[in-house]
Every structure is written in C-alpha cells, then in structure tokens.
Structure 1
Amino acid sequence: MRLSRYFLPVTKETPADAQIVSHKLMLRAGLVRQTAAGIYAWLPLGLKVLTRIEQIVREEQDRAGAIELLMPTIQSADLWRQSGRYDAYGPEMLRILDRHQREMLYGPTNEEMITLLFKDGARSYRDLPRTLYHIQWKFRDEVRPRFGVMRGREFLMKDAYSFDLDEEGLKQSYEAMFVAYLRTFARMGLQAVPVRAPTGPIGGNLSHEFHILADTGESALFYDAAIDEVTREELLSADASTITRLTDLYAMEEEEHAKVETCPVPAERLRTRRGIEVGHIFAFGTKYSASMGLSVQTKEGGQVHPHMGSYGIGVSRLMGAIIEASHDENGIIWPESVAPFQVGLINMRADDAGCAEAADRLYERLREAGIETLYDDRDERGGAKFATMDVIGLPWQLIVGPKGLEKGVVELKNRATGEREELSVESALARLVG
C-alpha cells in the first residue's frame, strides 16, 4: 500500500483527553477516532490490526473444537426475562423500544440467546458435547467510559458457550478453553496470568480471568514469581498439565489477596504488578439450561439439563492491551503476528528520480514475495517519515536513500530493538522472507 494513497491521519500532538499510553498512541497513530462517548470508528490501520487479532482468536477457537456462528446484536427482552436477568443486569444494559413498542436490548452478552438456539437444535446425548462461539459487537452503557478502547461502551468480543451432559464433561470443555486462551495470548506475544475470579452476574462457581501484565493495568495483582518462569513455548504447547501448574500457583487481585489471612507464597517470591483483563471464562452448570427449559435425552431415556460454560475474550480491548505491553517513547511496537503491515518501506528522497525508481522496484518485489508493505512514497522530509513509521510501530523499516544506493545497499531497521543493518537488496529481501 502506498502511503500517499492511504488514509492514515497520524498526529504529532498527544490528545488532551487521553490518559493512558494505548489511548494516546491509538489516536496519534491514526488507528481509531472517537465518534461519541466510549464509541470509536476503526480507521484502516486499526481495522487491519483488529482483524489480525480476531483471526488468531478464531484459529485457536477452531483448534479447540468450537464451532463458529453469528448471533444478532439486538435481542428480545422476553428472552432475558426467561432467565431472570432482565431486571437484575443493571443500567449497563441498553434497553430500547422498537416501533411496535416491543422491549428490546442491545446485547451485552449471549447466554440466553445461545441457550435458545441450542434448545431448538439439540435433542439427545448424541448432540453433546458442543461448544459454539461467535465474534460480535456488544454494547454496555458504562457510566464513565474512559481509557479509549480499554473501557468503551461498544466493543468487539469473542464469546463461546459449551454444552455438556454432566459436570465432568463441563470440566473438560472448560479446560479446552483454558488451553485455547493460553495459546491465543502467547501467539500475540503477551504474558497472560490466569486469576481465580468471582462469577458476578454470569453465575456459577468456577471462573478465571486472564490478565496481561502491564504497568498501566487497571487491576493490582499479587502472584507467585514462578508464573514469570513459564515460557512462551510452554504456553504455545499448553495442555491440561499446564493448567494444573498455573492454577496451583498463587495469583489474586488485590481485593481478594487482602482477604487472605496467611499468604501461601513466601515474601521473597510474592510479586505485585498491574494487569489488564482481556479474557474471562465461567462454568455455571445448569443455571441457564434449567431456567430456559433446555433438556436432552440421556442414553437411558431420561432427561437432563446440559451443563454450560461461557468464555469471553475482549478482541478490541486486546489491541489496547498489546500496546500497553509493547511500546516505547516513540510509539507502538507491534508483535509480527498482529502487525498491520510487516514492513514500512521509506523512500528518503521522493524528489530524486533514481531513488524513487529504486524504491518503486523494491516495493514491487516485496509485494511479489507476499510481504505486506506500507510504502512511504510521500514528498516529505526523512525525519517526518521516520517519526510516522515509529509511531505506527511496524516490525521492520526498509530505508532507501541516494547514499546507500551509491554503495549498493539499503538499510533494514528492527523496530523492537532499534538495530540497523546495511544490506544488499537481495539480502534484505531474504531476511524479511525468512
């Protein structure tokens, strides 16, 4: 993509209303723009990142055996009255009337709707176990939306729902999602800490939150230092033993830690850091299947209410969490797995015919090699081009200038480390393809 033809409204100034790093950088890098309190438009560069995050989430859900569908954003109030949650949910639920004065709501979550859909399609034990998921926009009317996409009112979420015949089956579905979450976050270059959590209005008696460690996180965590020793490779190949290892280690939010009379972790191993919640999983048994009349026939001919769980990931919130965990004073540093482009190609002298021709040729070769490239072909100063590339945080910068061309080299810069190398065009291409 040629930057001269792209829509990328990068700004030098830090927005006055942005309080945390991710909000500041998402606005400065032209990823999003606020359209109303807690509601954002996703601009082209931001949408590319969001799509990559969404795809990793989708791949790990599919790998775990979940089946994708798509549920509507608007739901009937009658559906929520069946479960008893319509009046209990609180003012965060946006309640509306349609033109026929029917009570509707903009869905904050989908336990009721997925139970209804499964009830219409499942009859016997042969239809279980199943886990269904979708990735859909949701709305919660936060009283004080802040921190950009970290606490907005409209957000993109992956929510999955499992159906099993009994508690043992639910435990297996829960563990499968636990593993999927560990893999999902590790693929994005994130260190996630699973924290035993209260179930809140969702219900049930088993729940874990997944927090990304970041200095600007909203939650204070106390945890065993052994959690820091779990490697990315272990998380990428996680299994039931990994869950046991992590859940046996102490990890609590500050409020819960304060209630503990005797902390089981020796003082020298107890760590405290801030965390950003990006995922939450629940096992709530028959709470919804029983209240909404979902039952299936057993092998013996009886009827049982399936045991259910729900599993959420904040897809749009993850973008903010990645930035909070991966940035420097110059801007964002995207992990390669979610970067909007792999390479930023910089033509240092757009007014130099030889330099422009060489950069154009290199751009075509990058495209032919399947390397997604943002080509800064604008007639701008070199310093402005470097600043743009640094703030948007592409993993690699490939710099073409007259002096380098005289020597037969281009410059390759690693955004994360800042390391620069002068290489031949062939060597630079080989490095990027490899």
Structure 2
Amino acid sequence: MRASRFFISTLKEAPSDAEIVSHKLMMRAGMIKRLGSGIYTYMPLGLRVIRKVEAIVREEMNKAGAIELLMPLVQPAELWQETGRWDKMGPELMRVKDRHGRDFAIQPTSEEVITDVVRSEIKSYRQLPLNFYHIQTKFRDERRPRFGLMRGREFTMKDAYSFDRDVAGMQVSYQAMFDAYVKIFTRFGLQFRAVAADNGAIGGTGSHEFHVIASTGEDALVYCPTSDYAANMEAAEALPLLVGRAAAAEALAKTATPGKTKCESVAEFLGLPLARTVKSIALTVEKESEGEVTKENWLLLLRGDHELNEVKVSKVAGLSNFRFASEAEILEAYGSVPGYLGPVATKQPVNVVADRTVANMADFVCGANEEGFHYTGVNWGRDLQEPVVADLRNVVEGDASPDGKGVLAIERGIEVGHVFQLGTAYSAAMNATYLDEKGQPAPLQMGCYGIGVTRILGAAIEQNFDDKGIVWPDAIAPFELVLCPMGYDRSELVKLETDRLYAELQAAGVDVIVDDRGLRPGAMFADWELVGVPHRVVIGERGLKEGNLEYQGRRDAEATAVPAAEMVSFITGKLGTPGK
C-alpha cells in the first residue's frame, strides 16, 4: 500500500465531544467519523483494524468447530414476544414498523433468531452438538451514547450459539468457547483477564466476562494473585470479616446524634470506628395478587464502610424485583426520615436482611427510627431477632479470597467478551426441542458467546497509548510497518531502495505501507506515531551511503541502524511473535 493512494486524514486536536483517550485518538487518527449520536463511519484506517480483529476471531471460531452463518439485522417482533424480551428489553431495543404496520426489532442480539433457525432444522440427537456464529451489526438505543466505539449505539459483534443434548454437553461446548476466547485475546496481543460474572438480562446459569486490563476501565475486576480466583465486582463473593460474633458487652442506649445522617459523621460524633456502625437501606417490593397490589418493606444492613452490591441483592429470595423505597414509604414504615433508620422497633413489620459481616457484629450502632437519634450497643438476639443473612456487599482489596488461597486484589478492566451457559432459558420459551435416543422430545441446552469486535479497538487503545498517539499491537495494527523515505520524490537512491525494500517485504508477507506523500520528516513521523503503526523504517541518503537503514519500534526511545541487506529478515524476526 502506498500512502499517496490511500486515505489518511489526521487532526492536531480532537473534537470537543471526544471524552476518553481512545475516542480522542481514533478521531484524531482519522479512524472513525461521527455521523450521529453513538453512530460512526469506519474510515479506511479504522476498518483495517476491524478486519484484522474479525479475521482472528473467524480463524479461532472455525478451529473450535463453530460454523459461520449470517442472521438479519431486522427481526420480527413475534420472536421477541415468544421469549418476553419485547417488553423486558425496554427502550434499548430499537423498534420499527414496516409499511404494513408490523413490528420489528433492530437486533441488539440474536438468541431468538438462532433458536428459531435451530428449532426448524434440528430433529434428532444425532444432529447435535452444533455451534453457529456470525459477525454482524448490532444496535442498542443507549440513553447516553458516549466514549466513541466504547459505548455507541451501532456496533459490530461476533455472537455464537451452541446447542447440546444435555447440561454436560453444554458445559463441554462452553469450555471449548472459553478456550477459543483465551486464544483470540492472546493473539490480539492484549493484556486481559477472564472473570466469573452475573448473567444479567441474557439469563442462564453461569458466565464469564473477558476484560482488557486498562486503568481507565469502567469495570472493577476482583482476583487473587496467588490463585486462579477471578470475578467481576458484581459476582465476587464477600466473606464475613468477623469469624464469629462476640458476646454483648454494652447496654442498648438511644443516643442523640443531631444532624448526623451518614455513618461517617455518626462515627466521628460518637468517637467510634466507622466499622462499629451499620447502615440501613430501605427497599420496597410490590406484589400483585388477584388484581390487588401489596407492598413489602425490606431493610438491608451493611457495615458503615461497605458498599451495597445491587446484583447480589436481586439474588436474595423475595428481592428479585426490589426498588429503593421512597421517602413517603420510609416515613410510613419506620416513622422517621432517611438517615436515622434501623432494624430496632420499626413502625411497621420489616423483613431484615443482614450482610454476612453485620450478622457477626456485636455492640454496633444503627439508626433509632427517630430523627436526630441512633442506638448504640445493639446486639442480635437480645435487641433484635436473628436476621436473614446474605452476601450483600462489594468486596474490598485485602479481603480473603473465597477459595482460601490468599487475599483479593482489584484492577480496572473493559469488558470486550462474554460467554454464557444459557441452559433452556430460550429453548423452553420457544419450544426448541430434539428427539432423544428414546424418541422423546427434550429441550435443547444452549450456550451464548459474544465478542465486541468494534469495542476491541477502543479497549486496545485505552491499554496502549502514549503522549504521541496510539500504540497498536502488531496483530491488529492497521499496518504492521511503515516505510518513511526521506526525499522519495527527489533522490533516485532513496526511491530505488524504498521500492526494493517494499517489494521484498510484501513478498515476505509483511503488511507494509510506504509514505510517498512527500511530507517533511517531522510531519510524517507525527502522523504514523498518532496512527500507531508499531514498526517504522527510515530510508535516507546519508544512511544508505553507509549501507544502513534506521529501524524504530513504536515504543523505542531511539532508532537502531540496520544493514539495508538485512532489514527484511530483521523485520520478519520482529514480527515473528506467536499468533502471527
């Protein structure tokens, strides 16, 4: 490729609406162009990266036994109504009508469509297992699209769907996809971590997320450096910080705490450690029976220095559809304004759920359900009935690892892949069955496996950049190597050597571009450092007279002189990394 015949359009400054590093650098490097809110045109440089990502994904999916097909972007509403997701998905699901007034969805995912395909094609256990995948445009009508390709409305995903006879078969398919994902992200050249996760809106029984490690990542990843334990914050188990409960040593006392509505201010006012306080979080659950709606009051208790994990709360029996109580509901149930709530002597009956650590606390401080007052010396059994105990909190760095093999650490990550064990969540709803060995119908066991193809670009940049621009890993760079001739249009010696080297590199399979635009060296180098091409060779008359060319890696502080006759083997050696 010659730069004079390619389209390169770099900017000195990022547009004002670009918020994070990857968005700014992709706009400046001319890789994407904004068309509308959360919608981008992939410009030639950006599209080259996308195609390289797709190629690696395809190779590894094919090796793992998955079969490629292509499902429609526009899907009939009837399929989504079968699973109930037409209503459950909410406004993120883009709904349209055709000229006949029929409802359609612009797909954010394809579980319904692939299940419909398989239920009409698969009849016997002899046809299983199966795994289909496609790489297709998706659309999710994000409330607040931001961060460029990291959280856009239109994006490209690879999604795969496995179909098996039983749970054991599904788990084999799941492991095959998990292993394929490890190979894919390793080939990308990115630092990543696979963590146990919650299935969320997709449904099913188990899942793992794949995260690119980046300090700017939105997600907190929990792991044990001395074991294999890893989970995202939503799924990470928090063990009790107290081994057992001490005997009561204080009497229950109502203490004035005027204006102290936060645990931190209460602890400071009373001269106690924050870890002696308990925060109370009021929830409401609405239930409908025979057309009548009733409300249940729930109170969650966490230690004052801990944070609530809402995903864990939704797993507690009876709280799958919880919401936070309104101030009016709090006044009615507790007889107090927020900030002074507690489990002792509530105005109305309340279901109390204590975090594991709180369940082992003694002589703790909590609200007295009266404005301006807290109780001190509160103890289970004596002052309160024993609570329902559950894991309600986010883990913190230094907590004991659930596997008992060390302590937990936390780092930031960007989710770029997710694998799910769906089970029969979709096949049962859509009556997707096969005939087993006895000729009896049985529901298909499904798995679901996604990779955010275009999101990989943003995540890779968030992990690999400096003050000059992007630093692409070799495998997904728009070009592996750029040749920068000094005076290509003025020096016959430089032109001949550049053309010779270019031809030999192409013959060796190197993805190379020659910058023959006639730019000054500073402007030329700045462009390619911004774009992030990982390897650069400079061809100049002075060096050629000495028989040398200059090589510089994108992360190298200085250039290295390499004999011109050895440059091809030098470059292929540099690029000869696993996975190339």
Residue aligning to 2:266: none
Report the Cα distance in structure 2 between the residues aligned to 1:98 and 1:261, rounded to whole angstroms.
56
Other-structure match for 2:480? 342
SS of 2:134's partner is strand
Greater displacement, 54-63 / 344-353: 344-353
1:264 matched to which residue of 2? 400
Whether the 8 Å CA contact 2:38–2:152 is kept in 1: the answer is yes
Which residue is equivalent to 1:126?
126
Match of 1:184 in 2: 184
- Counterpart residue number, 1:55: 55
**CA–CA distance in structure 2, aligned partners of residues 178 and 264 of structure 1:** 27
Structure with a larger share of its residues in helix: 1
Structure 2 equivalent of residue 203 of structure 1: 203
Secondary structure of the 1:423 match is strand
Which segments of 5 or more consecutive residues in structure 2 lack a partner in the other structure? 242-398, 574-580
Equivalences, count: 413
> CA 1:300–1:23 in structure 2 vs 1: closer, same or farther (change >3 Å)?
same
1:389 aligned counterpart, secondary structure? helix
Residue in 1 that maps onto 2:116: 116
CA RMSD of aligned residues (A): 1.8
How far off is 1:351 after superposition?
Answer: 4.5
Q: Tell me whether 1:277 sits opposite 2:415 in the alignment.
A: yes
Select 1:286's aligned residue among 407, 414, 424: 424
Q: Could you tell which deviates more after superposition, 57-66 or 107-116?
A: 57-66
Quote the residue 1:383 is aligned against: 522
- State the TM-score, normalizing by the size of structure 2: 0.69
Output the CA distance in 2 between the equivalents of 1:125 and 1:351: 67
The correspondence of residues 273-422 of structure 1 with structure 2, limited to 5 A, is 273-354=411-492, 355-422=494-561
Letter in 1 for 2:148: G
Tell me the amino acid that sits aligned with residue 422 of structure 1: A
The one-letter code of the counterpart of 1:277 is E
Query: Which 10-residue stretch deviates more, 186-195 or 29-38?
Result: 186-195
- The 1-side partners of 2:24 and 2:239 are apart by 37
Residue type at the aligned position of 2:107: G
Q: Would the aligned equivalents of 2:75 and 2:105 in 1 still touch at CA under 8 Å?
A: yes
**Residue in 2 that maps onto 1:76:** 76
Mapped partners of 1:220, 1:406: distance in 2 = 55
Q: Is the 8 A contact 1:174 1:309 kept in 2?
A: yes
Aligned to 2:232: 252
Q: Does the 8 Å contact 2:485/2:495 carry over to 1?
A: yes
**Contact in 2 for aligned 1:125/1:297 (Cα 8 Å):** yes
Q: Which shifted more, 361-370 or 292-301?
A: 361-370
User: Shift in Å at residue 188 of structure 1?
Assistant: 0.8
Give the conservation status (yes or no) of the 8 Å contact 2:226–2:406: no
2:336 maps to none
Percent identity over the alignment is 47
Contact (CA 8 Å) 1:349, 1:382: kept in 2 or not? Answer: no
Q: Relative to structure 2, which stretch is displaced further, 363-372 or 374-383?
A: 363-372
Q: Give 3-state SS (helix, strand or coil) of 1:290's partner.
A: coil
Asked if the contact 1:339–1:394 (Cα under 8 Å) also holds between the matched residues in 2, the reply is yes
Instruction: Tell me if structure 1 keeps the 8 A contact 2:224–2:406.
Output: no
Partner of 2:38: 38
Work out whether residues 344 and 394 of structure 1, in 8 Å CA contact, stay in contact via their aligned partners in 2: yes
Q: Give distance in 2, aligned partners of 1:121 and 1:427.
A: 57
Counterpart position of 1:233: none
**Which residue identity lines up with residue 206 of structure 1 in the other structure?**
G
Structure 1 counterpart of 2:171 = 171
* Cα distance change on mapping 1:409 and 1:271 into 2, 3 Å: same
In structure 1, how many angstroms separate the alpha carbons of the residues matched to 2:469 and 2:225? 29
Q: Secondary structure at the match of 1:91?
A: helix
**How many Å separate the matches in 1 of 2:109 and 2:549?**
51
Letter in 2 for 1:129: P
Name the CA distance, whole Å, in 2 between partners of 1:421 and 1:77. Answer: 61
Whether 1:25 and 2:25 are equivalent positions in the alignment is yes
Q: Is contact 2:73–2:137 with CA below 8 Å preserved after alignment?
A: yes
Does structure 2 conserve the Cα–Cα contact (< 8 Å) formed by 1:4 and 1:377? yes
Unaligned regions of 5+ residues in structure 1, if any?
A: 228-245
The separation in 2 between residues aligned to 1:293 and 1:171, in whole angstroms, is: 21
| Alpha-carbon distance between aligned partners in 2 of 1:67 and 1:352, rounded to the nearest angstrom | 53
Corresponding position: 1:223 with 2:249: no
How far apart, in 2, do the equivalents of 1:323 and 1:64 lie?
28
The alpha carbon displacement at 1:358 in A equals: 2.9
TM superposition shift of 1:213: 0.9
1:267 deviates by: 11
1:70-106 per-residue CA deviation (whole Å, 9 max, x = no partner) reads 1010000011111111111110000000111110110
Instruction: Give 1:140's aligned residue.
Output: 140
CA distance in 1, matches of 2:571, 2:464: 21
The aligned amino acid for 2:511 is E
- AA matched with 2:400: P
Contact 2:544/2:564 (CA < 8 Å) preserved in 1?
Answer: no
Task: Specify the code of the residue in structure 2 equivalent to 1:261.
Answer: P
CA distance in 1, matches of 2:115, 2:235: 32
* CA–CA separation in structure 2 for the residues paired with 1:419 and 1:114: 53
Partner in structure 2 of residue 234 of structure 1: none
Supply the AA of the counterpart residue of 1:50: I
Q: Is the 8 A contact 1:215 1:275 kept in 2?
A: yes
> For residues 261 and 80 of structure 1, what CA distance do their matches in structure 2 show?
42
Q: Which amino acid aligns with 2:90?
A: G
Structure 2 distance, partners of 1:226, 1:14, is: 42
Deviates more, 1:258-267 or 1:115-124: 258-267
Query: Whole-Å Cα distance in 2 between the matches of residues 292 and 251 of structure 1?
Result: 31
After TM superposition, give the deviation of residue 257 of structure 1 in Å: 4.7
What's the CA shift for 1:261? 3.3
In the superposition, relative to structure 1, how do residues 170 and 368 fare at CA in structure 2: closer, same or farther (>3 Å)? closer
Q: Helix, strand or coil: the match of 1:399?
A: strand
CA deviation vs aligned residue, 1:246-272 (integer Å, no higher than 9, x gap): 4xx14332x555855343338985322
CA change 1:369–1:176 in 2 (3 A) is closer
Q: CA deviation at 1:329?
A: 1.4
Partner AA of 1:122 in structure 2 = I
What code does the residue aligned with 1:131 have? N
In the alignment, is the contact (CA less than 8 A) between 2:195 and 2:210 conserved in 1? yes
Whole-angstrom distance in 2 between the partners of 1:69 and 1:29: 33
CA distance in 2, matches of 1:426, 1:395: 21
Decide whether the 8 Å contact of 2:226 with 2:405 is kept in 1.
Answer: no
Separation in structure 1 between the aligned mates of residue 433 and residue 69 of structure 2, nearest angstrom:
21
Amino acid aligned to 2:542: K
1:225 partner SS:
coil
C-alpha separation between the residues in 2 aligned to 1:267 and 1:118?
Answer: 43
AA aligned to 1:398 is: V
| Change beyond 3 A, Cα 1:304–1:267 | closer
